[in-house]
Every structure is written in structure tokens, then in C-alpha cells.
Structure 1
Amino acid sequence: MTFFGRLSCVWGFFILLVLVSEAVAPSPSGFVQTRSTQFVLDGSPFLFNGFNSYWMMHVAAQPSERYKISNVFRDAAAAGLTVCRTWAFSDGGDQALQISPGVYDEHVFQALDFVVSEAQKYRICLILSLSNNYKDFGGRTQYVNWARSAGMPINSDDDFYTNTVVKGYYKNHVERVLTRINTITRVAYKDDPTIMAWELMNEPRSQADYSGKTINGWVQEMAAYVKSMDSKHLLEIGMEGFYGDSMPDRKQYNPGYQVGTDYITNNLIKEIDFATIHAYPDIWLSGQSDNSQMEFMQRWMMSHWTDARTVLKKPLVFAEFGKSSKDPGYSISARDSFLNAIYTNIYNFARTGGIGGGLVWQIVTEGMESYYDGYEIILSQNPSTSGVISQQSRQMTALKHTLSRPRVHLTAKPNT
């Protein structure tokens, strides 16, 4: 064989190796991390469009209903949604994960295993919430009732944040979830990159201390505990974003009241990796005009994004928002306009850094009427809303690719 013939064979073999390597190249498998005010995945900026489907484990507890989880993940993935927030708790009551302190229903845990494995299949990252401020699915009311039944002196649900026995119950749950080995994937939750982040509690609130100091102490203790077991995953609190006493001038952005949290001090805790806000102006400012509610929303988003960048120096996620069909004058076009306005803000903020994405409330599928709360969106049945959501996904993906490109520094050619 001639030299050129041998060269041709070597070159052809090289091309074949490249094609094979590209064909079997693994998908991104690292853990989502933060770098200053930005999320990163496998070394590149991570921007996303996402959703809430809190009910997944509860529905998956009935094997005949698991197709609903698959349908939502399938439709969400088709719409470009890449992050899902859902519950990793159900305390006492119907189909409870935690039947009593430290006692778990393996059947329900396997339902959560299924949710995690399906998310992995559709390449959707999960934010798993570990408890609830409200009575739904147990929450802190169930925890303090368990302690009361055990003979502990309990005054109110706010003892959840301070009572040693109750805090022990919560820590036990954290450990049980984080060290759970998925029966389908055989990977421990704390080692699974499908999980993007843990959330300490859905919308923590305190009526006993509006300053935010009580919840601050609880977050410090629990965040350190989570990180002592799992340093791979991100951690957030689950806050709505209400300002407290640390920066009194910021209280003007609250919707006229406080809930016992402090957006600044709570999120400055070193173990907390990113901040969250929720917003429901149709509830918080009930009776006010759509324009007034939207003006509030603009101020709410701007102030929190600014503080995330300049004070917290951590990324922000708009973790809950939506428009209810129960609102006076509701229409699908009004909902689409509302979502589009929120998405436009998120995109514009993301262009200059500081926000990773938003999670609309909530995505369901056909046959889930019992979970309708006015905010439900069925992607397969709501083409216009699905179009708005898909457009945001495309824009965030395009922006991610733009930010991922290496910047070329051109040097002016000297005159000769």
C-alpha cells in the first residue's frame, strides 16, 4: 500500500473513532452547582424553564396511576422544561410516606423512587421539598401533633422551629430521604445528579416571630445538618421572599404584611446555595386591578433579583407563579399574557446574570380533576399556554448556549 493509501486508511479510522465517540458520548451527568450568581452544569452556565408538580409521589403510590407521572414528564420535556419541583414528604394521613416519626411506608417510598427514575429518563432535574408549612400532606402541624402525643409541651405549630423533639423528627426525615437507595436506579438519593436541589420546607412561615430570627435559627441548624450528609447537592429554603427586619426599607416591597421570614438574612446563611421567591398577586392583592397586581409583580421581581446579585451574591429562582382560573375576569389569553410578562422578566434578568429560571405552578395531565386548584395547566390540552411555555424554554436554551460560547478577544492588527 502506498503512503497516501496508508494515510487515507488512518484518516478514515480516525473519522470513524470520532463518529463512534460522538454517538456514545454520555449526556451531562454532573451535579448542578453555583458559581457566584450563576448556576453551572458540567462547567457551562445552566439556565432553565421549569414547573411544579407537587403531587407526583402521592399519585405514583397507585401503580395503575403512574402513567400520569410519565405523561407529565413526557409533555414537559417536549415543551423544553428541564426542572421539576415536587414533594418528598407526606406525613400522616392518607397514603403517608412517613406514617409516624421514623416509620415509613416502603410502598410510598418506592413511588418516590419511580418519580426520580422517570425524571432521569426524561432528563429533567428535580427540586425535592422535605416538608410543608401547611397542613396539606401533614407538614409542621403533623410534626408538632406527634410531639404533643408523645407528651411534649407544645404551644403552637411554631414550636416546629424550636422544640428539640420536633426538630429531631425533622432531622430523621432528612436523613431517611437523603440516604434512601432508589430501588429502581440503585443509586442513593444523595448521590443522584437527577436531583438538582433539596428544599428545607415549602413556604416556611411563623406567626410567633415576624422578625425572621426564629426561622433563621432553624434554617441555620437544618441547612448545616443537610450539608453534613450531602455536600454534592444544592440547598434552598423554600421561601416566598418576604422581607424582614434586617433591611427595613425593603419591607415596602412586601404585599402589605410579613410572614416571619427575612429574605436577606435567611438566604445569607452560607449553606444555602440559592434564593427563591414565590408570587401570587391575585391572592396577596385580592380585589386590586390586574394592572396593580402586575406593577407589584414587577417591583417584587426587580427588588429580589437586585438583592440576589448585590447583597446575597447567589442565584435566584422564581419557584412559584401562576394565574388562577378562579380569578374574576379570567381567560386563557389573560393567563398567557401574565405568564409571558413573567417569562420576559426572567429572560431579561438572566441575560445579565443572577437568575437561573422559573417554575410555573402547576403542570398536571388528563384525569386529575381532584388536583385542580385553578392554576392547573394541561400542556396537551392548552396549546396557546403550551406555546408560551415552549417559547420561553427555547429562549432560555438559546441564551444558555450564547453564554456558554468562549469569548474571543481580538487584538488589533498593527499598521505596517
Structure 2
Amino acid sequence: MKHMFFLFFIVLYVISLLNVEADDEFVKTRGVQLMLNGSPYYANGYNAYWLMYFASDPSQRNKVSSTFQEASYHGLNIARTWAFSDGGYKPLQYSPGSYNEEMFQGLDFVLAEARKYGIKVILSLVNNYEDFGGKKQYVEWARSQGQSINSEDDFFTNPVVKGYYKNHIKTVVTRRNSLSGVAYKDDPTIMAWELMNEIRCPSDHSGNSVQGWISEMASYLKSIDGNHLLEAGLEGFYGQSKTESNPNFQVGTDFIANNQIPTIDFATLHSYPDQWLSNSGYEDQISFLRGWLNEHIQDAQNILHKPLLFAEFGISSKNLGSSNNSTKRDQFFNTVYSAIYSSASGGGTAVGGLFWQLLAEGMDSFRDDYEVILAESPSTATLIAQESQKLKRIRKMYARLKNIDKWNKT
């Protein structure tokens, strides 16, 4: 009987471990935490906007696979990438409603490979900038159809443009993966949708244009897909009531009001003090970064009551001087990781971070001075892996507590 009891305990323990690492359910939210399989979920990840582009060419797919493999080896469990490419060279969307099946099959491959390596994905649906088309391409499409367009910011208010964008949402969300046969809206590999990469509407400092657009588009997406989380794609800039916290400019967004919209499930934050405070020295930029992170953690915790994901952070090697580049970048990364861990270890609102950007070896033309190539950056790679382990330990702690509670109730 003792042996049977011991065997039962071992089986229960193994099942609990499997539950910790299983990735076959949708990520949800509960209070200020992300949840997966009933336990808090923490995201240590990266941006790789290029995944669909490379995966659309079968001869280049090995770079996608090797990146997922190496990322998984370092404990990275989430990737953020583009589900858009509007007009121009090798587009996903040739024109409103006209799609490139070759590119879509590339995105299919990205999701299939991510699942294979246990990596969740955030898919962004349009760009604020004209790279890969973005809102500029959308308003140009509308102008060519006779719409009166004053600026790119008409993207947020023109009914024809909004119709084009809603059609893109529907096309992507209802896409059926040609490799797995699973519709995107039913695929738990996708952690969340993002409405726009770095929403900005500088022509309307009141914030009304962006607030109305997020509300409308979030409700529309949720009406099609009730499985996935949704975030707006905000950098974290505050509105007129708190402009002193911004780095000397406004972009028509409001971290508080925009994220209070009920259909937005979690808040996001981007951090580029080397761009925003380009005339300041490195130490002043790090000081700003600490304050920027901590202020948003407190606001997400006390006002929004929602999880906060540091969806982009990075520092350019050009801005680090000629010596100690790795040391300074590692200090920057460690500042972000320390803020996340300090919050997460106490059950707080910070649920993870995604650095910009991860490249595979042999992608020199995609370097932007922010890139991390793990094989070339051993100290940064070690720091990333250590953060993965620290967040994983928090998740396991919660899982053990949950299983002990279940055991006590039986």
C-alpha cells in the first residue's frame, strides 16, 4: 500500500509539472496577472518583426526555425511579430481585401514552428509608421478611391479607412492555417492580438481620436474572436493630465484612458530613452528608464488593475560609445529585468518583457544597432536566460501552491 501511495504521489507530481509547462491552452487574465493552465504566466520574450517575411520564402525558413529553437533554449517563451505588410514589396495585403497567399503561408509556418518550440506569439495588425505600409498606405488607398484625406491621422476617423482595417482584422483573425488546419482565432499559440504597433495621432493631443478608434476596433475584434487577449500597441505616453511624465512630447495617446477601455486586456510599455532623450548621457537615460518603468507599474497596479507587459525595450549600440558596449547594454537590460522581477515576485502587475530585436545569424541586412544575436552576445544571452529561469521559478511556485491546495482539499 505504501508503494501504491508513493507511486500515486509521483504521478501527481509529474502531472503538476506538465501542467506548469503545457502550452495548449489560451493565455487569460486574472486581476493583474496573466494566467495559463490555472497558474500565473510570465513572459520573457523578444521582438522579431521579420518572421513572416522570411517564412514566406521556403529557402529562408531555416532562419525562423533556428531562431525559435535558440530562443527556446534560452528560456524565451514569447515572440512579437507583424501580421501586416500593406502594399509595396512582398506585401501580405496587395490592396484592401486582396491578399498574398504566399505571405499568409509564411505566417502559417511561423505559428506552426512557434507551437513546436512552446513559444506564444503576439501578432500586430498594422503599423503606425510607413514601414510595411502602415496607416499611410491605408489612407492612400482611401484617397485613390476619392476620399478627402487631410493627413495620415485620418486613419483613425475616416469611415472608409476604418472599413479597410476592420476587413484586415477579420481576414487575419479568421484565417485557417494551411499547415495545422486551425483557424487563427482558435489557435492558443497566439497569446494576443495588437491593434497597432506604436499608436500615434499627433494631430489630436486631446486623445479623442485614438480613444474612439481603440474602443471601436477592440470591440469589433472581440466580436469575432472571444478566445484571445487584446492589447492596443501603446508605448506608454500619458495624456494631457500627466504630460510631465512624458519625455518632452505628446503623441495623442493616454496610457491611463486608453488602457481603461474594457476590451483591452493588458497594458503595454515601450522603452527607448536613447531615442527620446538623445541629448542626455547614458546615466541620465538609465535614471529616466527606472522612473518610467516604476511609474507605469504603479499606475497599472493601482489605477488600471491590469497586467503590464514591457512589449519593447532596447538601446542602440551607436549610443553606447566605442567601449564597454556589452556591459552598458547588459546594464540596460538588467534595469528592465529587475523591475519586472521585483513586481512579479510579489504578485504584481509586471508580467514580462520583450527586447528589440532578436536576429538569427546571417541576417546582416536586418541589423538596426538594437539587434541581439545570441551567439555573438554571450553576456547578454546569459542575462536573458537567467531572467527566464527567475520568472519560471515564480510560475512553478504558484503551481506548487495550487497543487498543495488541491491536495489539502481532497
The answer, yes or no, to whether TM exceeds 0.5 is: yes
Distance 2:23 2:281 in 1: 45
Which residue does 2:303 correspond to in 1? 311
Question: The residue matched to 2:345 in structure 1 has which SS?
Answer: helix
Match of 2:75 in 1: 80
Share of identical aligned residues, percent? 52
TM-score under structure 1 length normalisation = 0.92
State yes or no: 1:389 paired with 2:381: no
Q: Which residue of 2 aligns with 1:4?
A: none
Which of these residues, 57, 66, 74, is aligned with residue 62 of structure 1? 57
Aligned partner of 1:132 in structure 2 is 127
TM-aligned CA deviation for residue 326 of structure 1: 1.3
Task: Please state whether the residue corresponding to 2:264 is helix, strand or coil.
Answer: coil
Partner residue of 2:173 out of 166, 172, 178: 178
Partner of 2:408: none
Offset from partner CA, 1:127-148 (integer Å, 9 cap, x none): 0000000000000000000000
1:168 aligns with 2:160: no
Equivalent position of 1:3 in the other structure: none
Q: Which has the higher helix share?
A: 2
1:372 pairs with 2:367: yes
Contact 2:125 2:196 in 1 (8 A): yes
Give the Cα–Cα distance (whole angstroms) in 1 for the partners of residues 23 and 81 of structure 2. Answer: 22
- Tell me by how many angstroms 1:48 deviates: 2.1
Match runs of 1:15-94 below 5 Å: 18=11, 27-94=22-89
Amino acid at match of 1:200: L
How far apart in 1 are the matches of 2:252 and 2:115? 36
Aligned pair 1:334/2:328, yes or no?
Answer: yes
Judged with a 3 Å threshold, the aligned counterparts in structure 2 of structure 1 residues 24 and 41 are, in CA distance, closer, same or farther, namely: closer
Name the TM-score, length of structure 2 as normaliser: 0.93
RMSD: 2.3
Distance 1:324 1:25, change over 3 A: closer
1:211–1:262 CA contact under 8 A, matched in 2: no
- Aligned 8 A contact 1:277 1:319 in 2: yes
Match of 1:262 among 228, 246, 254: 254
Q: Is the 8 A contact 2:16 2:399 kept in 1?
A: no
Q: Which AA in structure 2 matches 1:392?
A: E
Offset of residue 23 of structure 1: 12
Which of 144, 148, 153 matches 1:149? 144
Specify the structure having the higher radius of gyration (Cα). 1
Matched letter for residue 349 of structure 1: S
Mapped partners of 1:382, 1:255: distance in 2: 30
Number of paired residues? 399
Q: Secondary structure at the match of 1:406?
A: helix
**d(CA) in 2 for partners of 1:256, 1:314:** 26
In structure 2, how many angstroms separate the alpha carbons of the residues matched to 1:403 and 1:279? 29
Distance 2:233 2:274 in 1: 20
* Structure 2 residue identity aligned to 1:283: Q
- 2:106 aligned partner, one-letter code: A
Q: Distance in 1 between matches of 2:38 and 2:284?
A: 41
Contact 1:322/1:360 (CA < 8 Å) preserved in 2? Answer: yes
SS at match of 1:295: helix
Q: Please name the residue that 1:294 is paired with.
A: 286
Go from structure 1 to structure 2 and tell me whether the alpha carbon gap of 1:24 and 1:216 turns closer, same or farther (over 3 Å shift).
Answer: closer
Within a 5 Å distance, the mapping from 1:265-280 to structure 2 comes to: 265-280=257-272
Cα distance 1:316–1:22, how it changes in 2: closer, same or farther (>3 A)?
Answer: closer
Cα-to-partner distance string for 1:366-411 (whole Å, 9 max, x where unaligned)? 11111111100111221111001111111111122223332779xx
> Which residue is equivalent to 2:277?
285
2:225 maps to a residue whose letter is D
**Do the aligned residues in 2 keep the contact of 1:50 with 1:83 (CA within 8 Å)?**
yes
CA distance in 1, matches of 2:252, 2:126: 17
Deviations 1:73-114 (A, max 9, x none): 011000100010000000001110000000001011000000
Output one character per residue of 1:289-326: Cα deviation in whole Å (capped at 9) or x when no partner: 11111111111111111110111110000010111111
Q: Counterparts of 2:166 and 2:299 in 1: how far apart (Å)?
A: 30
Correspondence 1:223-262 to 2 at 5 A = 223-245=218-240, 248=241, 250-262=242-254
Distance in structure 2 (CA, Å) of the matches to 1:252 and 1:208 = 19
Structure 1 unmatched runs, 5+: 1-6, 410-416
User: Contact (CA 8 Å) 1:178, 1:190: kept in 2 or not?
Assistant: yes
**In the aligned structure 1, how far is the partner of 2:115 from the partner of 2:313?**
25
What does residue 207 of structure 2 align with?
212
**Are the aligned partners of 1:92 and 1:98 in contact in 2 as well (CA < 8 Å)?**
yes
**What's the offset of the Cα at 1:22?**
5.6
* CA offset digits 1:346-373 (Å, max 9, x no partner): 1101122101100000000111111111
Distance, in Å, in 1 between the alignment partners of 2:305 and 2:358 is 31
